[in-house]
Amino acid sequence: MVLFEGLLGLGLMCLLVPVLAEYGKFRKISEKAFNWIAGGGISFILAVAFNSQVVSFWTYAGQISTYLQQLFEFIGWIFVLVGSILALVDLTKK
């Protein structure tokens, strides 16, 4: 399962969470929270795109891509954190 390691695997799993919630019939309770988690998954995949070896060949582009990777990874963590807290609050109310 080498494909699902690192940020790429985390991004794919975050995109899989709303699908499994729909399958479990509880996405309607907290749809906004699962949208936040999916947004975090997209942000993680974008962070992986900035980790590309092609970008790091140029000196300045490599430095900028490193900063952008860290930025989108941080944004992804914030989105997943907010989505998880919203889902926890909404699901415990019901």
CA 88/CA 74 separation, integer angstroms? 21
User: Mean of the pLDDT values across residues 85-89?
Assistant: 94
Gap between the Cα atoms of 24 and 66, Å rounded: 38
Rounded to an integer, the average pLDDT of 1-5 is 65
Q: Using an 8 Å Cβ cutoff, are 65 and 83 in contact? A: no
Buried (b) or exposed (e) across 42-68, using 16+ Cβ within 10 A? bbbbbbbebbeeebeeeeeeeeebeeb
How do residues 25-77 score in pLDDT, each as one tens digit?
A: 888 888 899 999 999 999 999 998 887 665 556 666 667 778 888 999 999 99
pTM given for the model:
0.84
